[in-house]
Each structure stands twice: as structure tokens, then as C-alpha cells.
Amino acid sequence: LLEYRSVYTDRGVFCFSDLPNAASTRPPMNNSSEAQGLLNNVESASPTAPDSSRRPADAVDRGAEVSATRGKEWPGGGDGHDGAFGGVFALRDGDAVVYRLAVSVGMLLLAACVGIAGTVLFVVGSSDPPTLRGPDNNRCFSVEECPIELYNLPVAMPLTKGTPLSVKWTVTQGAKSNAKEFPKGKVCPAAPPSSIYDDLGSCGMLKEGHPYYRFNELGYRWVAHSEWTYTATFDWPASSDAIASVLHKKKNGYGSYSMDGMLLLEFEGLDTLATIYLNGAVLGTSDNMFNKYTFTVTGKLKERNNITIAFANPIVYGNDRQNDYPFKVPVTQFPNFLTASENPKAKWLPSPGGRNFVRKAQSDFGWDWGPALIGAGVWKPVHILALHAGRIDYVSPRQTFASDGSVTLQLVVGGQLRAACRTGPLAVEGILTPPGVKADKKHSMVTSEQVIGYDTSGAVCRGLEKLTGGYEQLFPTQTTLTFHLPKPTLWWPIGYSDTPGQLYRLEVRLRAGTASSMGYILDKQHKRVGIRKVRLIMDPLFDVSHGQSLDKWPACKPAIDWYRTMEPGMSFCDAYKKVRQEGSVWDNEKQQYCHDQGCCQSGDCNKCPPQLEQCTPSFKAETFYFEINGLPVWAKGANLIPFSSFHSSVTEKDMRRVLDAALEGNQNMLRVWGGGIYPVDFLYNWADENGVMLWQEFMFACGMYPTTKEFLGSVAEEVRQQAKRLTHHASVVVWGGNNENESAMTWFPEIAANYATYVTDYVDLYLGVILEELRKITGPSTVFVDSSPSNGPLTDEPKRYRKSWGDAWDPNRGDVHFYNYVMDCLDVTLYPRAKFISEFGFQSLPSLLTYFEGATDPSHGSRDFHIASHFAYYRQRHVGGNSEMIRLSGAHFIVPTSQQTLPRRLSDAATDTNGTSAPAPPVPRSPHTVNMTAWLADADPSHILREYRKYFNDSSVGLSVANATETEEEKELVTDFEPEAISRAINNAEVDDFDKFVYLTQLEQGRCYDAAVRHWRRIKADWDARTMGVLYWQLNDVWQGPSWSSLEYGGRWKLLHHMAQRFFAPLMVTVSFNTDADLLEVFAVSDIPLPVYRGTLTVQAIRYSDGTYIYKEVKSDIALGALTSMLLLRTKVSQVLQSTWWDPAHLFTTSCSVTECFLRFIITFPDQPAYVGGKKASEGPRGGTQ
């Protein structure tokens, strides 16, 4: 046990040193009470020498010398390992012994310099002597032999998983809820950090199994529509002694861990809207899932304590806030099965459109790739923190690069100090250790300390005030430590150095007194910092014309006129933008948008051009790419969505499986998408170590957001907390304000009618709050884009960010999101020549193995495993997605006949092919609110609609329907389908066909991505393109269902991810193939930052049927420059397909058609740098052949 005692003295810094051979002034003490009696009389004890009356008043303030010497033997203990230990400790002032204290059998007393208010802190209570180790791991017994660090650090007593206390967590239904699925008065055990679904599942309340299983999301809607209350009861130790015995804390140097002083109750994350009570009294509230909430509880804890957290319902809250708002704040909605019909006759609940008023993961409300499982609960840890004098809040690196290659590294250290009116000297110091260097003071660089919070008289509080009622408050402080690095080791992205991800180790300390006085370390943080310079390069390229003439697009003007007729008051150019972004097809014969399968057969269905002269001002096209340490980087990667709907259940193993797959897929950048959550520290540490760049978005997506004082205040705190947590991570190279919210300003009629109001709110939120608060923490050089896609900033001076307004989908500026489901995805001429593609993609189905891992099981056969089954449409959250996959795969492969038939009402004419070769404009995935009635009815007519009535018709939850009787309209919805869409018998042949169809969707998805990425990488050298990055949508899945991902839920690779290894390889060969022009061009693309030589290109034409080589050409001695794209070969297609060439074994004189043969292109560079590829140098190269 550790026992803590303090003795207050008037002034001074005291040191005790062990003098085993010195004579004692009194006999050895035999018990702790006798020792304590002596300690209590320290101030009145007479010094041995010199006479205290003759000593200067400030003699002790000069600091006592620690001159401990080691005797040949420990008194009473031989070599100090066996037997009892005794010794003499003396307070010294230079050579004069001011006071001696003896310690005998069974006792050890350690003390050291303490500089907080002249306090001397004694640590009593070990039956064994200290075993100290020096730098060489040899035993030592003195400060000279091994410096002893003495600690009085903040101590966190966990109250959730892993707590040493006896804590009992429970969950009950809230007072306003009474769902019949949860018995009245029922109390379930809980195990935070957790989701309400986790705790109800463990309690047996989710009767049908996991929420991901088949239709359980629908059956468990009562969970999302209820309120929940979590309760924790625990006993609090009565003394610091008892707390110490629970914690068993030890550190090098046997420092103290005091639980005295200020106590803080901290909730790392609450989901979301909660009122918190401690022992029946309100502590405060939470309204933001992403924020940590801290409450002072000094003097409020009892022997037995109760914490109650009452969660309000986020759906009701969001709708209420929207109803109270002075105008509509529109947001996209998805078919997430928590929304109700838009059919007014059905009398169901309106769709929950208020998600944007709730600071919660927006995807929890459902998205077009995942379910709506709106959770509640204590989703992150809870603890009680004890502070002595203060703590370090954050460390923000600021780097200045000089022309000679040196770097000045400034560390802005933010702290929080207790509001004590009497303070001693406090110092902040930093120790920086270069990569690969042993962390000791001999090889480390130590800054000069910065002294803060010093008050010699004790009469001035330095602006620190006490709250009413005697409870203290933490006040912020900030200081700067400076390092000069003459030849720094730089942090590089993977593929651009033989040692990517190089990090300096940093230790920052808050110390009592000064470093020279050996004061107690009150807090310390360990960080790893990368030295790198990041710039977003937006250089002018060329003048963009005013756009094309309307006369060349005969279907454009009728479409514009139709919109203006439907929405009177809409301007010509606003209608033009709507036509460009609308996913439907305009039928020029019928003079309307058509929504029937097979519409627009005339071939005259082309829509508006990308740029129209009436609506396009003249501007300069600009580059958009990231420069790291002065080197242009071609960004290759994907978008990262949440790993699960149950955020607290995700483990490091789960994340590592997905992240390592990205690394193996030759990716060097991930975009943390703005509709989910801020990932845990593990992800950022992984990215730092592996040299993977991160595009970190704030959590706002696909809609407008309110700008009330309360909302903006919550967002400001959210930004501050996340910026403080992430600012030191070298991997975060760009911050994004939101996902698609600038684009969303063209999606809603409310905005068109009052555009200026929404622009003002947009600027207030993303520039006035988010950018402003971000750069207060991270510094003015932080790279920031307010939205994605966007045109990027017009100017970004340190104190003035001017937004570049315009068409956010414009390929000539900024980054682009591209979705077009009617195009031939292998026709690369249809892809925009954009500067940076931060989203694009096509859907595929997950494998049956993944479906079997929690979504369904083989016993359901073709009832589930058929493209027209209820299950297949239930899992598809992108409207029209299944028909798109049939059409996409059928464009180049033969889809099994049984998988070609869809229910009549499910055919999505909005994405049917238009039958022409004219390029279609980009189609956002879900820019508009979908028709819920048709979608739900089509998805599962015999089950879903009745389940809606079953679960929504419960007035006890306050969400009842007006009429539970099935209406004629509803009956019609249930029966208005092709027969095969209704319940069907199991057909094993159809299951086999479905498995084949799954394979085809993945194969075609991979081919689409392969064609697009190879094209974009090739045109990085084209003067009018300069494409410098592709982040495909999306890397991972949140559950088992169809999506745009390359990794299935759980991390299993789709075919796309295997192909990504090739099309993201640092060295790539790509082909432009045009049969009409009889032209074949072969290009080599290199992202290697060094030139490569002695390359060989091999071109082969091979017949499918028998593997016969029809053509072969070899080009040798190829040299390829650094970071370039270069044409290697231009030839005629006819020459390749009709060839006579000599082989040592055969003479071939034959021909081949484009449907009979395939072409193989192989490029090899034996001199490829060893570090290139998806692994670090220590793991070996990934090869030099493509």
C-alpha cells in the first residue's frame, strides 16, 4: 500500500537524500505511527547544524543538494534484496545537515524536491528497498547513478469497462417511452462503452437476434423510437490511501499519485441528448455525440454514489427543432425504414428530416449504403480524474522551413490550471527524440523550460478565480516550446521515401518548480510528431470558355422550360443546373421526363452540356493537388465510412484488417467521410506510422444545418476538441468542412427561393465557426477546404479564407464527385477530365460468405438469394441500385436469366440507358428525397408495410399512426407487383445463379474502377487535365449489403480490391484502345519520385479459345522519368489483330477479331527502387512488373 502524507512549510524547496552510513539523531522507528509522529513535528524539530538562527532566511530556497551515496551494504538488509531495510534520510543545505530522519526495519521513506506552495510530499510504505535501474539496466542506488523522476500525475479512475471499483451499470426505458417489446419496470444490465443495441441484446430483449440479421432492423425500430436511461452505482474510497490501494499505481522513481485535490467526472462520449445526474442532483446536459463532457465533482462524492444519464429521443428532438426553426433547413433522406410513407392517405409518420439538428453520426439515421439503427448510450469511457495542480490539454506543432533545409519546430502547449490563489512556479518542458534514436537525455534535445503561473507573494491570483460555492474551475493557459532542427528527418507518404512515416518522439511535461529544482512532474504527454510541409496547389492552367451553345443540345432547352413550368420563379440558369444534376432521362418526343422502363427510344435524349454559355462565367482552370515537402503527390486511395453501426463495439483488430488492406492495395490517402464519426486514435497512429495521408472531414453531410447560438456553440467545442486531439498527427494533411453540402445548395427548392439566407448560414457555420476554431488550435497554415466537392478556396491568406463559389461539380476546378450509372463505364471518354476525384464509383454485391456471417443463412435459399427477393431489395438502400447492377453487368457479360427479372414497379427508369452515345452528365448518388411509398412497397410488399403498421401503431411510444386499418391504397401497394416479387419457393438453381450474379457484379465493378483510374492516372501529364488524385467510393462496408465498397463488411476483399493493387501500383501500364480510329496507344505511368531505367514493354495478342499467341512485340531499354506519364507505343489495332510473326517453335500467320482475342501488356523495370509499393522497405519490395 502507498500512504500519502504532506507537511506544509512556509517557503522553500526541500530535498531528502539517503545516507546509509550516517549516524541517526534518534533510534530507528519501529512502526508507521511513530514515523508519522516524527513527520508531524518536522517544522518544530531543531536542526543538527548549523544553528537555524544563523542561517539566511532564504537559505533553503536556493535548493538542496542531492548528494546521496551508496554504502557497501544496506543496513539490516545485506545487498538490499533480502531482509529488512533501514536508512537515514537527511535534509541538507549545501554541506550543512539541516535535519536528519532515520527509517528502520520494514519502512521506506522517499521524498524529493517539491515546488508547489512549498509542500513536502512524503511517500510511506514499502517493506522492500527500491530496485532502480540505470540507462544500462544496472542496479543503482543514487540520483547520480540513475535519475529519479518523481510524479504527482493526474489519476483517472475508470467507471466503465476495466474499472477496479465495484461499479454496476443498468439501463431502463425512459419515462416517456413504453414500448411493449420492453416490459414495464424491466432493468437490464449494461456494460459501457456500448450501444443500446449491445446492452439490449445481452439482456435478451432483441428476440430475433442481431440487428443486422435479415429484417431485424425493421423489427427493432422500437429501440430507436424509445428513450433510455443509464444508471451507474459505485462506492467511492473514503481516503487517498484506499484509492491508492485500488489503483496500485507505480512509476519509475516511485513517484506519488495523489487523489487529493480537484476531482473531475469526465464522459468521453455520450450518444447523444442526455441529462446527467449525480446523487440525484443535475450535473449538466449533453447535446453532441462527438464532445467530451467534464464536470467538477470535488466534495460531491459520497461513500455510495449514483450516476444517472437520461437520454432523450433524437428523432423527436430533431423534428421538434426543425418545427421551431423560422424556415426549412433541408437535408437528404434515404430509404432507411425508419421513415414513413409520403402517401397522405396512409396516415403514417412523416420522414424524420431533422437529423441535421442533432450532433450525432448522420449515417446512424440511414444512408444509401447502410441501415438506420439510431442508437443511444454511453459509447465511450467514463472516469473520475484527480488533478493536483493542472494538466496538459494539447500539443500543437507549428513548423517553419528555412531555405537551408533546417526546420524550426514550435510546440504550442495548451494547459489547464486549477484556480488556486497561491501558486508556486510551474514549468513546461519538452524532450524531442529523433526517429531511430534511443530515448535518453544524452541523445535527446531538451528545450529550455517556460515558467507559468508563478506568484511570489501569494496575494495575487493571476486572474484565476474561484467559482461560487467553493468549487474550483480549470483555466486555460498556453506556452510555446521551440526546437531548432538543422537537418530534420522528414515525414513522407508511403511510396515517396524508403522510410515513410518517420516520427519524432515527444514528451511534454508540466512540472512543479523548474527542471533544475527536480520538482514533481504534475502531468506529461507522449506524442509522435512528423516533420513535413503540406501545401494545396491551385495554380492557374488556362482560360475556360463561356460554355457551349444551346443550339447544339436540342433536348436541353425543353428540359429547362419544363423545370421552370413546374417551379415558377426559377431562373433559367438554376433550371439548367437542375437538369444537369437530375438523374432522370428527358424524352424529347414526349417533351417530359420519363420514368418508365424502355423510355426514350428515339435516340434524341441528350441533355444539357457540362458548360452552357448563358450560365457559365469566364474563369481560369486550376490545378488541385497536394505537395508534401515540395514534391507533388498523386493521391491514391478511397473513402472511409464507419466500421459498424455500433461504434463502441469496433476493435483495433477490426480497424487494422481494413486499414492494412488499404495499404496492401497501394493506397496512400484515405478520406474520413463527413457523415459518420471521428475515428479513435488508433487510426491516426496507424496512418502516421505507415505514411498514409488523411483527408479529415468534420461530421456534416448532404444537407443544410441550423445556425442557432446553441448549435454553433456546440459545434465550436466539437471543433476545438477534435483539433486538439488530432493536430499533432502528421498524416492529417487536409481538413474538410463537410461532405457535399455546397452541392446540396442546388438540390432543394427551398434554397432556390431564398438563396442568400442559406449562403449566409453556410458561411457562418463552415468559415465563421469551423475554420476559425480549427486554426486557433492548428495554426494559420492548416490546409482546409470548406466542402467536397468544391472549387476550393479563392484565396486562403492566414486571416482571410475567400470561398470560390460556382458549380461544385465543375471538372476544371477543385475536387469532383462523379456518379453516372447510365454510361458505359469502360468508355473512358465519358469520365470528366477533372483535377482531383474525391468520390466516384459503381455498386456490387457482397459474397455469399459475407451474407452468411450474420445477415442471413443458407436455409433461406432463393427466398433471400435472388435479385428479386424481398431480402435483396431490403438490403439495397440506393434507389434503383439492383437494376443498375443488372444493367451494368449485362453491358459486357451474360447475366443469368433468373436474375434478370425485376418487379415492374422496381425498375428505375431514372437510371435506364438513354440509347445514345452522347455523354451523360454526372449523377449524384442521392441528391433528392426519394419516394418512400413506392420504395418501401416495392422492396417487400407482403412484409414491410404490415411490419410498419405493427411497430408504428403503438401509441405508448408517442409515435402512433392515426389509423391501423389497412386501406385500399395500401392493399394495392402490396399486390401491385410481378408474381416473382412475392414469396417464392426455394430454388437451388436460382441460388447458384445468384452466386454467379454476385461474381459478375464484382467483376464488372472492378473493371469500371480499373478503366477510370488508369485513365485518370494517364492524363496527369495532359495540359488540360492534370489529374492528381483519385479516392474511390468507398473502402469499407458498415454491414452486409450492396454498396460501392472494395472491402466487404468484416474486411473480406472484393475483386475490386485485388484490381486496386494493380491500378494503384506505383508503376503502371495503361492502354488507350480505339477500334474506330484503328489506334492503339500504350502508356507507362510512374508515381516513383526517381527516374527508372532499363525497362521492357511486351505487347501480346492471345486468342481466348486456345491461348494461341497472335501478336507479340517487345520494346526494350525504356527510361521513365520521375512522377510522370509517358506514351511508349502507338500502333494500329489492325496490325495487332492481323499479324505474321516468327516464334522459335511456330510460325503464326493468322488473324483475330476484338471478340476473339485479348491483349496483354507487361512492363518491367529491374531497377525499380526497393521501397516502392504498399509495404515499407523492411518488408521488401512489391515488385517491378505491371
Lookup result for grid cell 535527446:
444
Count Cβ atoms below 10 Å from residue 750 Cβ, excluding itself: 15
Q: How many angstroms separate the Cα of 961 from the Cα of each of 211, 511, 739, 953, 954?
A: 24, 63, 34, 5, 8
3-state secondary structure of 707: coil
How many whole angstroms separate alpha carbon 468 and alpha carbon 463? Answer: 16
Going 795 to 800 to 802 to 803, the CA torsion angle's sign is positive
Identify whether the C-beta of residue 194 lies closer than 8 Å to the C-beta of residue 188.
Answer: no
How many whole angstroms separate alpha carbon 1171 and alpha carbon 1179? Answer: 9
Chain-centre distance for alpha carbon 946: 38
The b-or-e profile of 653-678 (16+ CB within 10 A means b, else e) is eebebbbebbbbbbbbbbbbbbbbbb
Cis peptide before 901 (omega within 30 of 0): no
Q: How many angstroms separate the Cα of 766 from the Cα of each of 679, 735, 737?
A: 21, 11, 6
Q: Look up residue 844 and give its three cell numbers.
A: 456490387
Q: Please indicate whether residue 1048 is annotated as part of the active site.
A: no
Which neighbouring-strand residues pair with 1029?
635
What is the helix (H) or strand (E) element at residue 1112, kind and residue range? strand 1109-1120
How many whole angstroms separate alpha carbon 930 and alpha carbon 936? Answer: 10
What is the gyration radius of the CA atoms in the chain, in angstroms? 35
Cβ neighbours for 947, distance < 8 A, ≥ 6 positions apart: 215, 218, 219
How many whole angstroms separate alpha carbon 219 and alpha carbon 200? Answer: 14
How many whole angstroms separate alpha carbon 482 and alpha carbon 410? Answer: 4
Q: Look up residue 596 and give its three cell numbers.
A: 418508365
Query: Which amino acid belongs to residue 648?
Result: S
How many whole angstroms separate alpha carbon 155 and alpha carbon 257? Answer: 7
Question: Which residue is catalytic, options 181, 472, 839, 884?
Answer: 839
**Per-residue three-class SS string for 374-416:** CCCECCCCEEEEEECCEEEEEEEEEEEECCCCCEEEEEEEEEE
Task: Report long-range pairs for 683-687 (Cβ below 8 Å, ≥24 apart).
Answer: 683/655, 683/659, 684/726, 684/729, 684/731, 684/732, 685/528, 685/729, 686/655, 686/656, 686/659, 687/659, 687/729, 687/731, 687/732
Question: Which residue is catalytic, options 740, 742, 773, 1004?
Answer: 740
Q: Please indicate whether residue 740 is annotated as part of the active site.
A: yes
Which neighbouring-strand residues pair with 839?
817
3-state secondary structure of 528: strand
Residue-by-residue DSSP string for 417-451: EE--SS---EEEEEEEE-TTS--STTTSEEPPPEE
Of the candidates 112, 60, 108, the residue with the CA atom closest to the CA atom of residue 84: 108
Lookup result for grid cell 527536480:
518
Task: Report long-range pairs for 23-31 (Cβ below 8 Å, ≥24 apart).
Answer: 23/88, 24/88, 24/100, 24/102, 25/100, 25/102, 26/102, 27/102, 28/86, 28/102, 28/103, 28/104, 28/105, 29/102, 29/103, 29/104, 29/107, 30/104, 30/105
Identify whether the C-beta of residue 35 lies closer than 8 Å to the C-beta of residue 109.
Answer: yes
Of the candidates 1059, 1095, 1067, 1099, the residue with the CA atom closest to the CA atom of residue 1081: 1099
Residue-by-residue DSSP string for 65-91: -------SSBTTTBTTTSS---EEEEE
Q: Look up residue 588 and give its three cell numbers.
A: 424529347
How many whole angstroms separate alpha carbon 962 and alpha carbon 949? Answer: 10
What amino acid positions are annotated as catalytic residues?
A: 740, 839
